Chain A
Amino acid sequence: MIDVETAVAPARPAPPARPRRRTGAALPLLLLAPASAVVAVVIGWPLLQLALLSFQEFGRAQVFGQPAEWIWFDNYVSVLTDGEFWAVLGRTVAFAAVCVVAAMVLGVALALLMQRLPKPFRVLMSVGLLLAWAMPALTTTIVWGWMFDTEYGVVNALLRDLLGLAEFDRRSWLIEPLGFFTVATIIIVWGAVPFVTFMVFAGLTQVPDEQLEAAALDGAGPVMRFRAIVLPQLAPVLVIATILQLIWDLRVFTQIFALQDIGGIRADTSTLGVYIYQTAIAGGEFGIGGALAVITMVVLMILAYPLMRNMLRSGR
């Protein structure tokens, strides 16, 4: 449930094999109790309820007091046999894939660029990227929505007046799925690139200069040096960044929901998060929504597994 900063694991590497206190179990458990209690009540209990809900007939009637019947896997069957679910899933995965690839390619390119810049320009670029990173997702979406406005939007005006593309005059971007997801992709990538850039740049600074110099002396060109030396050392960072991006983009809610509000079409543009909202919260079908949520959760946890294992290894 954490946003951009999830990857910020412990700020310093812990010194190995530091002596720890061995005392009776009472004190540490007492210290853990309040945090555990809050998490158990607010996450654990609803999680259990979610699993139960997904096996129950729970619609509007049950919200108003009718007892919920156990129908076991019926909710899952109706979700998995619903064409709409597969359309939403396919759309979500395709959208996330495009966003992840675009953000990774751009982010890595900008990190490599940053490495080659003299200091003042590096600072300038960092400031710009930080500003984009700091913007809340909702305000970002609204601002881009305004920039892509049909009548007075600056994007249409730029394309029309600066590039002379008359077909962009009064173009409505949000009323057909392709235009809608073009705008959504720009919004997501704009917000995600700074994270990738800073993360990869931090990784690049760990590549020893001596190795690169030695390779250059041995006659390796820049492409060769990147492939043979930089890329292998960067691989863990790239994997982590890719997985994190993928998880965040599959979970996308705010951007799509707000774009639909701004005037985008709702048909054929919902992603999984928005679909769960429409089914359960707006539609009152909590049983079906529960099954949807469980499926989503399982998929995301499987994707997150390598990341969690990595965190566990570094955090023991």
Chain B
Amino acid sequence: MRRTARYRAMTALWCAVAVVVFVCSTFPVYWMVKTSFQPNNEVRSRELQLWPEHFTLRNYETVLFDPGRTPFLPALGMSLVVTLATVLAAAVLAFFAAVAVSRFRFKSRTGFIVAIIAIQMLPLEAMMVSLYRVLDAWQLLNTAIALILVYTATVLPFTIWTLRGFVDGVPIELEEAAMIDGCSRVGAFFRVTFPLLAPGLVATGVFAFIQAWNEFLMALIVNTRPELMTLPVWLRTFLTLNGTTNWAAIMAGSTLMAIPVVVFFLIIQGRMASGLAAGAVKG
């Protein structure tokens, strides 16, 4: 009897801690959204104000249409072009490579796998020195192509690795059965295996999307002209106006940039958690 009472008290305590964790992990997100909808005089108030008193869309108006700032829409366009091109290129190229590694045995297969793993670990932070020089030599600085190329190459190892897992998961016997029923090998692959890979393609596509959308360092180095900036670099231009930092507008910009990523992240999180379990516990 006493034992259950103690057990209940402990559970209540853990639940209380869980609520604290929830508040701590969501507070910055809440604060970002809250500030973005507040009028400037409330933002620039020294009183502790946990709830907004007035609600305004002016900050979004400022961010989107104020002619005095680096415009948002071209940056959004640039981000969309770069990100979607990366997703498409990475999905197609990774798909071919994953099929090759998973469905065939050939001489250089192990070498290729080793290369994928090693490249995945290379720090882009160190590569920037020569990447900048090389892109400059190819006259690709201040182009969308440079970013698409860099992002595609950097997400490819991971996307190949993940897709390979999905192709492995489709038993080859299914294809063989289809071939006995009269399908050609290519036909069997595209009619039987390919549809089963859809979740894998979605997962890797979303991964590539998040990477390309968030990437800051290369975007900062490669595209310096305002009309060619991606969203992270665009967001950064708001910070450098020191002294009169318009935090409400910055939070509106941050919210706009974060929304697509958060939404996509929540879509694939279930799959990522299970992948984590499979990949990590085996070792």
Contacts and interface: CB of A to CB of B under 8 A. Distances in A.
A190 B272 CA distance: 19
Given A31-B99, A38-B152, A158-B48, A251 B123 contact: yes
Contacts, number: 393
Interface string A50-78: 10010000000000000000000000000
A90 to B, nearest CB: 18
A293 B117 contact: no
B277 A202 contact: yes
Contacts of A290: 129-130
Given A43-B119, A47-B130, A315-B117, A137 B214 contact: yes
Interface stretch (A95-103, A119-127, A210-218): A119-127
Contacts of A41: 149, 153
A276 interface: yes
B107 to A, nearest CB: 6
B28 interface: yes
A301 interface: yes
Given A116-B11, A131-B29, A261-B239, A296 B168 contact: no
Nearest to A314: B282
Contacts of A140: 28
A132 interface: yes
A113 B21 contact: yes
Nearest to A2: B158
B104 A47 contact: no
B5 interface: no
Interface in A264-316: 272-273, 276-277, 280-281, 286, 289-290, 292-294, 296-297, 300-301, 304, 307-308, 310-316
Given A142-B239, A151-B46, 19 more contacts: A8-B275, A11-B271, A19-B172, A29-B100, A29-B106, A35-B93, A43-B119, A43-B153, A46-B133, A124-B19, A142-B254, A146-B35, A146-B247, A202-B273, A280-B128, A292-B126, A296-B125, A300-B126, A301-B122
27 contacts: A7-B279, A10-B165, A12-B169, A28-B109, A41-B149, A43-B119, A43-B153, A46-B133, A47-B127, A121-B19, A125-B22, A132-B29, A138-B216, A138-B232, A139-B254, A139-B257, A146-B250, A154-B48, A190-B25, A199-B280, A251-B123, A253-B125, A263-B245, A272-B125, A290-B129, A308-B117, A315-B113
